[in-house]
Structures are given as structure tokens and as C-alpha cells.
Amino acid sequence: MTDSTTSELGLVRTEYFTIDRLVLESGEVIAPVMLAYETYGRLNAERSNAVLICHALTGDAHVAGINAATGKDGWWDSMVGPGKAFDTDELFVVCSNVLGGCQGSTGPLSPNPATGEPYGLDFPIITIGDMVSAQARLIEYLGIEKLLGVAGGSMGGMQALAWAAKFPHKINSIIAIATTAKHSPQQIAFNEVGRQAILSDPHFDNGRYYDGKAPERGLATARMVGHITYMSDESMAEKFGRRFRESTSKQKFAADFEVAGYLQYKGDNFVKRFDANSYLYITRAVDLFDLAGEKELAATLAPVCHASFLVLAFKSDWLYPANQSRELVRGCKLAGIDVTYCEINSTYGHDAFLLEVNEETHLIRHFLHKILRESAQGLNNDEHH
Amino acid sequence: MTDSTTSELGLVRTEYFTIDRLVLESGEVIAPVMLAYETYGRLNAERSNAVLICHALTGDAHVAGINAATGKDGWWDSMVGPGKAFDTDELFVVCSNVLGGCQGSTGPLSPNPATGEPYGLDFPIITIGDMVSAQARLIEYLGIEKLLGVAGGSMGGMQALAWAAKFPHKINSIIAIATTAKHSPQQIAFNEVGRQAILSDPHFDNGRYYDGKAPERGLATARMVGHITYMSDESMAEKFGRRFRESTSKQKFAADFEVAGYLQYKGDNFVKRFDANSYLYITRAVDLFDLAGEKELAATLAPVCHASFLVLAFKSDWLYPANQSRELVRGCKLAGIDVTYCEINSTYGHDAFLLEVNEETHLIRHFLHKILRESAQGLNNDEHH
């Protein structure tokens, strides 16, 4: 299905790592936790060239290359590979499916050891911090004491920030793209509508739908809302305008505007690859995200003042607007962090973090080269002591 | 229930006007059509002081005063009355529930004369132009040849613009607030999600739900999406922040953020007063709205170049953003229309058109005084010929 010339990384395999027991921020325990992950490039002898990439809401561990089992390209293949933004000739890149996910890692569709049935709503509420705790166990297992960087866009950026707050001494740098240090009420509201659509679906059955029909209409509606927020008014106008499409349905309120057809198509496709319960848990984790909580952001970031930050935002992104990134940058500056901020011109809205490859490539390559160089000097200096 | 001191207009009664037969823009016919309407103030001897106010998506004929039957305040009582923006000491104000509505005017819940049952989805698709055609018959019936003005916010503004295009010689002025000359794909997309939520509700039953349970969850979800778009990020942050509320439900994904509770409350209340089929038809009319279509906006507006326009937008309104108003103003200017444009500072988002009473009052009072004066001079001049 996939043109093998599209990825220089060739075939990659998803691997699995098991954590016996993970204590969550709530105090609840999940045992065991499996994480699906992939790696690209080679860990150097000093184990100093590892970068963790964290995926967004519905992403997975397969960030680049061609998956040996599915034949699919990675979701950020344009950015990860030899000579790319995350240059696998120099870096060892790791990506794992988040805790609570449905693409190989333990989540609500995994069997509950207590019953042998899928957890469903018996799965405990998880946080972005819990996702990061599980990743930290994977990183430790891979023999990496300190990451060169943690990078991600959107919810991936939140995980990167949570790494900074939870494990300040395990990172050299953070790349936070199109993200925020805390979810705003508007962002919560959009997720809430999506969750309500799932909960209202008659097939939801309190999360115990695995033997029957899934709450597909509800999940598709949730995804439609999501997709509106991922695009900009301008990109929708460019892509669809007010054009009508040939509707296959003669129903009176068939989605016959091109934009409506597109959203419906995206919604219908999404339900084939995503679990509705995972959608509930992961959006909830995102809504609960508030890096500093009652504290000042600068105070929360102070322990990570040795690290460098690259913060990227996109002008037409109204879901994670640039002012949230600037607030994060302000917190970094007040904490004495070496932070670079770029606001990229793009009409793609929030989707820009997946699409503005050229600009991101330059910014991220330069940033990581510098960190790599500094890290190597640091290692050399250590040798002299 | 209502404090009677809140309206100087006192009790008002909803009246009903019947049109034998209305030919729609599609060529289809509705016969008969009933319009619910209210009037305020007195029509002067010259019949020259009438202003039509058009309501937004889910509004009704009861714009001001206290409804004699329900005891409720009008939806724009702050703006209509003695000494107010629409000064009933000087003006004769008319407001009617739109064609397709569910608050007294003929719509999908009205009996279909062919069957005696509610129309449901047998009701024909209507347009903003059709709403205006019905209003024009009402205005004629009231003995008004030419309106001093047509005013409205949001969908009400679209009706005002449709008046300008369809009946250029029946109006002296247009007040178009927080609106657009054509619905954008993003605006269509939000409505589409709402419609999908209704169509997906198992109680929808292809629109024949009047004997049973209505598709309340679907309609509530649609309204939740709507309410997010009516507020701004900033107003939500001011009103709710990230605060939690005491949740009455112990459900795992209960809406326990204040913002979520508010949206749920708004959604649940809405279904008590609004018909899901009407929501489908009216949002569809709004989505179809494209004043100029294939033509240039200026060419469409050229026949109304004798009229004066007041165009108001709000800085934090991201649903009907100011650039759409500026495009409308550009069309007016190119058509040689005397147009005044104000972009009002407000954090209320789209809701601002209902809330920024002080600023709107000054702008609209001054504007209408001038039109009234010019109209009186025009009448005097006519007498001399």
C-alpha cells in the first residue's frame, strides 16, 4: 500500500515493554502496564543522543519509517529520519504509545487482570504525568540516564513539559510545539462536547461495548468537533470554500457541503482505528493538565533551569493559540531557562505542527545540533575532572 | 417569575398573521404560513417610523417587554423601549418569529395540511430569503410601504442583509450586527456537527418524534457546540477558569469542570424550548446564506445604494469575526452606500451583540435618529413636489 521510497528509514517494528506495576498520581495502581514503542537510529556509546518524541491525542508509537506489520508510514515521517529534523544519523529516537491509548499500550480496552475482560470504565483516570511516568520507565529500561531531548506537539508538547517538571535532571532539552502549560476552559469545552457525544451514544453501554457495536456515531461526532478545531477558518476556506459535493445520500440533511463531507469522512475513518473509551480517558488527561497548578509556572520550571527549551507556535492555531506559548516562554524566562521562541506563519491552524515541515525542520535541526554539541562538550569536560 | 420593573414597555401580546400561500426560493410552496409577531410603540401617521428587528438562530418574536402569556422578558429588552437604542417613543418596532421556527410561526412542528400531522422532514428546505419574504408580507399587512430600518445580530443580521438585496426600495436603512454576507466553511462545519448530533440521536426517528421522546441528547450536544462558539476564550476564562464544581453525578466522566457544567445546563435547558427539526432547518438556512452568490457583493448591493448601513462587529467574536463585517463594509463602499462601521472592544465573543448594550445603544440611537430626520425631510420634500 505504501510507496517504500517515502521513508529512508525502511521497515520498522513496534516493540513492547512491560512495567510490572505503575503507581499513578491519583495513588491508584495499574499492574501490569505494557507500552508499545519504536526506536530509530542508534544509541551512541555514551548513551547521550536519545530523543523521546511524544505523540498527540490520537497518535501512536509509529512516528517514522514503514511499519513492518501494517505497511503504514509513520505519522511524522517527514520529520524523523536520516538528515531530517530529528536526524537519525546522529540521534536515537524513541516514541511510545501513551498509557491509556489503544495502539498497543495498556488502556481501557486492555484486559483487566482482575476479570480477564477489557477494563472499560474500570480503568483508572490517568494524567499526562502518568503517561510520562510510564515513558520514564521505558527510557530507563533502554539504558538511558538522561535524554538529549523530549519533543512533541499538542498533547505531545504537554508530555514534554511534564517531563521537565517531573524529571528535570533526566533531560537536556524540551521541544514544545503548539501546546500549552494548562488547558483552558475553551479547550476543555471542546473535549467535553466530544465526550458527551460518546456518552450519549446508545451503543456506549457504560463503556462495556467491546462485545457488540461500538459507540461509533458518538466517537465520529467527537472527531468532527476535533477536526474543526485543528484547522483554521482560512485553511477551510482554501480547501473547501462553500462548494457542494455529489452527495451519495438523498437524505434531506445529508452533509452535502464539501467541508461537511470531509468532516464526516474523517469521523467515519477515525472510529475504525480508535477506541471510544481511550478517547474519553486521554481527553480527560489533557483537560486535567495544568503544569503549575496553584504554583507559579516559573517556580515549577525552576528545577529544570539547566535545560534549553524550544517553543514553537503557529499564527493561525486558534485551538492552542500563540499567547499560550508566550505564557510558557515567559515562565521559562522567569525561571532563567535558555528558551527560544518562534511564531511560525501558517494558515494550517493547529494542524500546522504536522504540516509546516520545512520551517520546523530548520528550527529543530539547529536547536538539537546545538544541544548535541553542548552535551558532547559536557561529557568531555566530565572526562577531565 | 419576572420582575415587572425590568421593562418599561409593560405587558405585550404575541399576535398572529396568516399568509395564504408562500412561494419559496426553491419554487416549493407552503400554504398557509402563520407568523407570530409583536409590535412596540406606535406607527406614525406617515407610516414612516417602522423598524423591523430580526432575531438570531433560536430567538423569537418576543424582543421586548413582558409577554402577557408567559411573563417572560423579551430577549433584547435592554435595547428596545422608551429612550432605549430602538426608542419606542419615536419608533414602531416589529419583530416576528422566523419561518421554520418553533415559537408560533409555521415550521416543521406545525401541522401539514395534507396529513394533519406535523410536517417533520416533509417541511421544505427554507432560506434566509424565504424568512424575509414572509416578513415582507407581514410588513405589507401592517400597512408599511417602506421600513425606516431592518436590524439584527447574527442570523438576524443576515435577514437584514437579505432585505437589502430582495427589497431594496422598501428600506431606508440596515443595521447588521456580528454577522456576515456569506457563511464560511468553518461556520458551516460547526452547524454540521450540531445537525449530525441530532440526526444520530436514536430518538430522532427521521424527524417523526413528536409522539414520543424528542432527540434531546442530540439537540443538547448541538447547543453545547453552539455555546462554545458564542463565547470567547477570554470570557470563558473569566467566567469559569479551570474551576471544578460539585458534581451531582458520580459517573466517571461527569461534567465536573464549571465550564462543562455550564454547557450541559445550557444544552439541557435548550431542549425544553426548542424543536430539533427547527434546529435542522434554520441552521441549514444559515449555512446556505450567501448574499451575493456568484455575483460581486457590490453588484448585489448596488440597488440599495440609497440606504444607509450601520455595521457592527466585536473584536473577540471569533464565530462571526470582524473581517467578515469589514468585507461587508467594503461591498457597501464599492456600491456607493453610506455605511458606518464600528468594531467594538468586548471580551464577550459573539454573545457581545446581546450584552454590549451601552455601546450599541449610543451607536444605534444616533444612527436611527439621523435616518428618522432624513426620512422626515424626504417626506417634507415630497410634499413640495
Q: Summarize the confidence of residues B333-350 as an average pLDDT.
A: 98
Q: Which residues of A have a catalytic role annotated?
A: 154, 317, 350
Q: Which chain A residues are Cβ-neighbours of B237 within 8 angstroms? A: 184-186
Buried b (16+ CB within 10 A) or exposed e, A101-123: bbbbbbbbbbeeeeeeebbbbeb
User: Domain coordinates of chain A in residue numbers?
Assistant: 4-182+291-384, 187-285
Average pLDDT of the segment spanning B159-168: 98
What is the rounded CA–CA span in Å between residue A265 and residue A251?
A: 17
Relative to beta strand B33-40, strand B92-96 is antiparallel
Task: Between A77 and A245, name the one with better pLDDT.
Answer: A77
Alpha-carbon span A309 to A307, nearest angstrom: 7
Hey, are the CB atoms on A252 and B121 less than 8 Å from each other? yes
For A171-202, what is each residue's pLDDT tens digit? 999 999 999 999 999 999 999 999 999 999 99
In this prediction, residues B27-35 reach a mean pLDDT of: 98
User: Is residue B317 flagged as an active site residue?
Assistant: yes
**pLDDT averaged over every residue in chain A:** 95
Phi, psi at A259, each rounded to 5°: -60, -40
SS3 B145: coil
A189–B255: do the CB atoms touch at under 8 Å? no
Q: How many CB atoms lie within 10 A of CB B136?
A: 18
Q: Return the CATH class of domain B4-182+291-384.
A: alpha beta
Q: Could you report the per-residue pLDDT of A208-220, keeping only the tens digit for each? A: 999 999 999 999 9
Grid cell at residue A289? 493538565
pLDDT tens per residue, range A38-48: 999 999 999 99
Residue B167 in grid coordinates: 427589497
Q: Which residue of A has its CA nearest to B187?
A: A233
Mean pLDDT of the A363-374 span: 96
A188 vs B242: CB contact, 8 Å cut-off? yes
- Whether the CA torsion A190, B127, B152, B216 is positive or negative: it is negative
Question: A193 and B218 in contact by Cβ < 8 A?
Answer: no
B317, B325, B346, B375: the active-site residue? B317
Average pLDDT, chain B: 95
| DSSP 8-state symbol, A248 | S
**How far A56 CA sits from the closest chain B CA (Å)?**
21
What is the mean pLDDT of the segment spanning B235-254?
A: 88
For chains A and B, what is the number of CB pairs under 8 angstroms? 142
Residue identified by cell 452533509 is A255
Lowest model confidence (mean pLDDT) among A141-150, A220-229, A333-342, B244-253: B244-253
Instruction: Point out the annotated binding site of B for substrate.
Output: 223, 351
Say which CATH topology domain A187-285 has. Answer: Rna Polymerase Sigma Factor; Chain: A (1.10.1740)
Looking at residue A93, what is its pLDDT? 98
CA B31 to CA B23: how far, in whole Å?
9
B276-288 vs B185-200: helix crossing angle, rounded to 10:
160
pLDDT of residue A381: 63
- Per-residue pLDDT reduced to its tens digit, A137-167: 999 999 999 999 999 999 999 999 999 999 9
Of B190, B218, B220, the CB nearest to A228: B190
User: Is residue B380 over pLDDT 80?
Assistant: no
Our CA-based measurement puts residue B170 at a distance from the nearest CA of chain A, in whole angstroms, of 30
Cα of A103 to nearest chain B Cα, Å: 22
pLDDT, mean of residues B127-154: 98
- Is the peptide bond prior to A303 cis by the omega test (within 30 degrees of 0)? no
Chain B partners within 8 Å of A217 (Cβ): 196, 200
Residue B189 to residue A284, Cβ atoms within 8 A: no
Give the model's pLDDT for residue B347.
Answer: 97
A30 phi and psi angles, rounded to 5 deg: -115, 125
Distance CA B116, CA B111 (A): 5
Collapsing DSSP states into helix, strand and coil, what is residue B380?
Answer: helix
For residue A377, the model assigns a pLDDT of 86
Contact B147, B304 (CB under 8 A): no
Closest Cβ opposite residue A260 in set B192, B242, B263: B192
Active-site residue flag, B130 = no
Q: Which residues on B lie below 8 Å from A232 (Cβ)? A: 186
- DSSP secondary-structure letter at A124? P
